[in-house]
Structure 1
Amino acid sequence: MMDVPTWNTPFWPEGVAKTVPDYKFPLFKIFDDAAAKNPDNVFTIFNGGTRTYAQAKDTADRIANFLIKKGIKKGDKVALFLPNIPHFPEIFFGILKAGACCVNCNPIYTASELNHQLNDSESKMVFCMDHPEFYKNTVNAIKGTGVETVVVCNIKSYLPKLKGFLGSLLGKLPKADSHEPGHIMFDDMVAASSPNPPKISIDPENDTAVMLYTGGTTGVPKGAELTHTNFTYDVTALNEYGRYVHEPGKPAEKLRQNGFHTFLGVLPWYHSFGITCAMLSATLSGSKLVCIADPRAGKPPFTDVLKTVQTYKPTIMPAVPTIFVAFTNHRDIDKYDLTSIIGCFSGGAPLPPEVCKQFEDKTGATIFEGYGLTETTPVVSANPTNKKQRKIGSIGFPLPGTNVKIVDLATGETELAQGEDGELAVCGPQVMKGYWNRPDANDEVFRTIDGLRYFLTGDIAHIDEDGYILITDRKKDMIIVGGFNVYPRDVEDILYTHPSVELAAVVGIPDKRSGESVKAFVKLKPGETVTEDDMKEFCKQNMAGYKRPRSIEFRDEIPVSNVGKVLRRVLRDEEIKA
């Protein structure tokens, strides 16, 4: 394959290389290297409990050994149905060490949503949390799937001894009411396994490390196959691109290594943004990683995470704009010291300039906005990490070793002139292998241009006169709620399972708190009567919280095209005008 062209702009950040070498290796190597260099350094922090790199590696090695003994073979799928608890990275790297593929599942999914992922991915094992809801959903979700083994993770052993003892005594630790026969407790599994991982040959460029589900450009859930190299490139390129002012008044420098930094794990690790920019970036730099299982915890919401920042003094905070909004609008923000934060990577949705200003004024940090997709592991581009060269409202420049083109909307094959709006196409080592078992979908999104393989993002963009990339619209109907992708068809398909629904349409409408919110338009079958509360309760039972329509409007008619296709844009335009 030809080399990817370097990006041409006079505003390229000073000192940052245009390409990155030496990134083609198994993903778990960054973990093993960090443990070898600094075995006694703290890796994870969770409610006062800490785990060193050596302890975490020991557990990951035991998990890999366990997987092999349970019959997991190279390329088999193992699902993680977990929030951000310290078990997550240990299980993640253990799965990779066994040569298997991690299938990261949203822990707030309903049983039916999880069932689809387990079935489609052909997962053979699932790790879930010992929790009344998460465990119950797992038990129901594995019915009719190929899952042969369930491992249940209780948090008690990862807490300080006194806190774990008192939590158990007072019944405050989450725990399922009972466990199904044959399901294995995580601590028992670790204790019974030896820390001798198998020797598995990994082809980093072709072996799938992680499968993440996304609606892509159509909204039909598909598994994006992300290779070891997809991740190792992206974290290596991010590490090269970032320049931070570690000490006020001194020049910016590369991210310091070997335990200097603490990453705030406020983004979920089942999501590509959280896994790459928090969990894996922390690991690559040998940093500490604060596990935030529920960012909204506390009264009012987000209070606990503010307390965590003050206590553990994180320096790096990747987050979506709604997190920055929650911080700056928190009624008690002035009671907390947030000045430890040096740098923040914002993504998932456009960052309002005023939110950026308010957060930076409060913390002294620098926020740099980036862009990516699940299919690109996820980071494609980012603003320079210094305030002088970043351009608020843009997504900056492609990462070193990445190139983008603006192509025509009709075919996705013709490159447009600088300044013209077209579809953003991406070429780089972070672009996924493809969609799992979906050659039709792959044909839709990949194009060969100038001898290189480009991925069509579905986003409309242009490149300005200074070389900065600006997103101007979305080609697809995807809705972004607080940084999470909601695909109208996914929600509509669930609404259609209601026995009284004849026709349904879902659109995103502007929302000050979450960027966009979901609104559903429903036409009932003749003679049927359903209230908005009834429909919302149905949605609560059948879809994750961020997907649920915040408002539901019943209509006698829903606009459709000549061929019967629901005209979502007409409904969206009506809402915006209203």
Structure 2
Amino acid sequence: MKGIASIADVQAVERKGAGTLPASTYEMIRRGAAIAPKAPALSFFLQTDDHRKPEVWTYEELMADIHRSANFFHSLGVTRDEVVAFVLPNLPETHLTIWGGQAAGITYAINPLLEAPAIAELLKAGSARVLVTLAPFPGTDLWQRLQPILDQVPTLRHLVLVNLADHVHGLKGLAARLMQKREARRLHGPQGVHAAVPARIQVHDFRRGIRRRPKDRLVSGRNILPDDYSSYFCTGGTTGTPKIAMRRHANEVANAWSASQFLGEGVGTGKNVFCGLPLFHVNGVLVTGLVPFSHGAHVILGTPQGYRGDGVVKRFWEIVAHHRISFFSGVPTLYAALMRVPIEGHDVSTLEYGLCGAAPMPMELMRNFQDKTGLKILEGYGLTEGTCVSSTNPPLGDRRIGSIGIRLPLQQMKPVVLDEQGAYVRDCAIGEAGVIVISGPNVFAGYKVAEHNKGLWVDTGDGRRWLNTGDLGRQDEDGYFYLTGRKKELIIRGGHNIDPAAIEEPLHRHPAVELAAAIGRPDAHAGEVPVAYVQLKPGASASEAELLAFAQRNIPERAAHPKSVYVIPQMPLTGVGKIFKPDLKHLEIQSALSTALQEAGIAARRLRALADQARGIVVEVELDPQADVAAVRRVLGQFPFPHNV
């Protein structure tokens, strides 16, 4: 199939049906590998300077290493319901852990940028038996952060270490191995890491562990069923106390199949996909992982840090031209950064489109990027609980700026009206905003902790299992969706979610604080940055500088440190006494956009952020008659809000 252009195409695909889908992610990749076993499946370069000489795995070699990895994990006692956690940057071993781990048991993705106490809590909550992470290596600190918390995870029995020196070759490789051994001895003495790990935990080297395992089969003889759990992902924020989403093989297979129907001939043998998003995130794993692997496409994994790697963004168009990249996925901050990188002199004609998700993309940024590069940007929408992708703008059809596109095949999606208790009232009319709910084989099993599932499911009376996404949106007459707000109140900083509770709870521990509320302040580069509002106890005193310093000392995750803390006399409250964050959000929008105009040398008589039922938050600006309206629109276009000047 060539791809999807409209909702009519989606419905045509559904009438035809999906046929017999693979029972598992393992079987799905195995089918993709059989298309062209000698074709390149995965390439990796450790540094941007080495991108022209990457390590390459054919599909035959990738499947051999997936088998070896699964068999290695099986030898460590991993069975259907045992958990293999990984705290890793983007490496070939990360893919082998994901897909080999799912063939043996359940994989559990944990963000390596989190602070050690948060990682310890997640490992305990997930009952991890095996942990795969980096061995100590000069210039890295992941091992130093994780080693002290290993004894806090009672279920942990095996520690598998990935040695970065394995990706350095020739004489430099010999030097890198020597450096790694010296680093381990420097940290822990002659016995190295073995002396620094609790006695109940066995230490293994990843490459040595998989080396002699059978490469052509699963020695467990496991028959993986569609309803078996495949993966755990943290959600509800990558800071604070995230919920653990449990996903089944059927969820991942269905979502990969649905997404590939949209992409059509854009993903398959001979197509090259660049992966720069982290592999602890569902987008990196599915959109630039399972989807291309299931169709025999070639994934280029660029540096352990992905887009954050030194030189990756600066030389991105060079990488695209050399590797003949046809597709990549990113967040709005990436596209903003690429706008500053000259494209001239690079042949990027193979580049068909880029996918944008994780946070709303400012309309002006999208227009400018498409005008500069000629590249189609497909803005989409999805969530971990829906596996990854629920809607996207069709690559072959009308790509509507400001829209998150049309729903994927096999998935249902609609806005509904809920009452105060979260119960279903009715479906929304065309153009009417409501709570977005989704249903289909991609929807996850639920959260690991039962209490987290309260209010998650919506009974509409049609027999379907509808997931309350917590997002607000509307649908037009052509089936395109538009987000109008986020009921969940997560702060999205550079595509990463921050739970406001991670900021509010520490602030509430200050003796002078009575109420605290954290929200996102619009930021042209990061999308949002966290700020906090505080109401003091009667008779108490504390300066904003004091509260900011207190927050920075007591919030363990650096990404969640508020940029500012404001003391206000009275917190806005709802009729039932809950903090009404939209009022605070409007203040920050007005402040951020007014500041942006002032920095551009533009004086506005008045700027207001108003709630519009159909369009979400709308910014109204009143100018002096002589003001440059085009310049105002350019500034406001950096932010994802409709505006009236």
Q: Is the 8 A contact 1:366 1:385 kept in 2?
A: yes
Match of 1:538 in 2: 553
Match of 1:52 in 2: 58
Relative to the length of structure 1, the TM-score reads 0.86
Q: 1:171 to 1:125 in 2, by over 3 A?
A: closer
Match of 1:183 in 2: 203
Deviations 1:473-511 (A, max 9, x none): 122211222222222113333555678866532101111
- In 1: Cα distance, 2:108 partner to 2:581 partner: 32
Q: Is the 8 A contact 2:87 2:112 kept in 1?
A: yes
- In 2: Cα distance, 1:328 partner to 1:405 partner: 34
Match of 2:607 in 1: none
Deviations 1:263-314 (A, max 9, x none): 1111111111111111111211212211132212336x82254443343231
Residues 335-484 of structure 1: pairs in structure 2 closer than 5 A: 336-386=346-396, 388-410=397-419, 411-413=422-424, 414-438=426-450, 440-449=451-460, 450-484=462-496
Residues 299-318 of structure 1: pairs in structure 2 closer than 5 A: 302-318=313-329
Residues 491-506 of structure 1: pairs in structure 2 closer than 5 A: 491-496=503-508, 503-506=515-518
Residues 249-264 of structure 1: pairs in structure 2 closer than 5 A: 254-258=265-269, 260-264=270-274
Match of 1:12 in 2: 8
- In 1: Cα distance, 2:490 partner to 2:213 partner: 44
- In 1: Cα distance, 2:94 partner to 2:151 partner: 24
Match of 2:642 in 1: none
Match of 1:250 in 2: none
Deviations 1:146-202 (A, max 9, x none): 211111111232344455346557889998955531422212212253435221122
Q: Is the 8 A contact 1:49 1:159 kept in 2?
A: no
Residues 163-242 of structure 1: pairs in structure 2 closer than 5 A: 164-165=173-174, 167=176, 177=187, 179-181=192-194, 182-195=202-215, 196-197=217-218, 198-204=220-226, 206-215=227-236, 221-242=242-263
Match of 1:96 in 2: 102
Match of 1:158 in 2: 167
Q: 1:22 to 1:358 in 2, by over 3 A?
A: farther
Q: 1:279 to 1:491 in 2, by over 3 A?
A: farther
Pairwise CA distance, 1:35: 3.1
User: Are 1:286 and 2:296 counterparts?
Assistant: yes
Q: 1:560 to 1:15 in 2, by over 3 A?
A: closer
Q: Is the 8 A contact 1:297 1:303 kept in 2?
A: no
Match of 2:335 in 1: 324
Specify which of 511, 514, 521 is matched with residue 509 of structure 1.
Answer: 521
Which one-letter code corresponds to 1:289 in the other structure? Answer: V
- In 1: Cα distance, 2:337 partner to 2:244 partner: 31
Pairwise CA distance, 1:315: 1.1
Which one-letter code corresponds to 1:390 in the other structure? Answer: R
User: Are 1:21 and 2:19 counterparts?
Assistant: yes
Which one-letter code corresponds to 1:373 in the other structure? Answer: L
User: Are 1:86 and 2:95 counterparts?
Assistant: no
Q: Is the 8 A contact 1:41 1:52 kept in 2?
A: yes
Match of 1:249 in 2: none
Q: Is the 8 A contact 1:111 1:137 kept in 2?
A: yes
User: Are 1:271 and 2:281 counterparts?
Assistant: yes
Match of 1:296 in 2: 308
Aligned length: 550
Deviations 1:81-121 (A, max 9, x none): 111111111111111121x1111011111101111211111
Which one-letter code corresponds to 1:365 in the other structure? Answer: L
* Structure 2: gaps spanning 5 or more residues: 46-53, 195-201, 592-645
User: Are 1:65 and 2:103 counterparts?
Assistant: no
Q: 1:354 to 1:577 in 2, by over 3 A?
A: closer
- In 2: Cα distance, 1:117 partner to 1:109 partner: 10
- In 2: Cα distance, 1:531 partner to 1:73 partner: 51
Which one-letter code corresponds to 2:90 in the other structure? Answer: N
Which one-letter code corresponds to 1:140 in the other structure? Answer: P
Q: 1:282 to 1:173 in 2, by over 3 A?
A: farther
Q: Is the 8 A contact 1:167 1:173 kept in 2?
A: no
Match of 1:519 in 2: 531
Q: Is the 8 A contact 1:219 1:478 kept in 2?
A: no
Report the secondary structure of 1:43's partner residue. Answer: strand
Deviations 1:4-46 (A, max 9, x none): xxxxx97534996235332251111122223333333222222
Match of 2:602 in 1: none
- In 2: Cα distance, 1:114 partner to 1:217 partner: 11
- In 2: Cα distance, 1:385 partner to 1:174 partner: 49
Which one-letter code corresponds to 1:470 in the other structure? Answer: Y
Match of 2:122 in 1: 117
Deviations 1:225-252 (A, max 9, x none): 1111111111111111224xxxxxxxxx
* Structure 1: gaps spanning 5 or more residues: 1-8, 244-253
Which one-letter code corresponds to 2:166 in the other structure? Answer: S
Which one-letter code corresponds to 1:435 in the other structure? Answer: Y
Match of 1:571 in 2: 584
Report the secondary structure of 1:59's partner residue. Answer: helix
Select between 349-358 and 468-477 the one with higher mean Cα deviation: 349-358
Q: Is the 8 A contact 1:406 1:421 kept in 2?
A: yes
Q: Is the 8 A contact 1:50 1:158 kept in 2?
A: no
- In 2: Cα distance, 1:302 partner to 1:167 partner: 26
Match of 1:135 in 2: 143
Pairwise CA distance, 1:216: 7.6
Relative to the length of structure 2, the TM-score reads 0.78
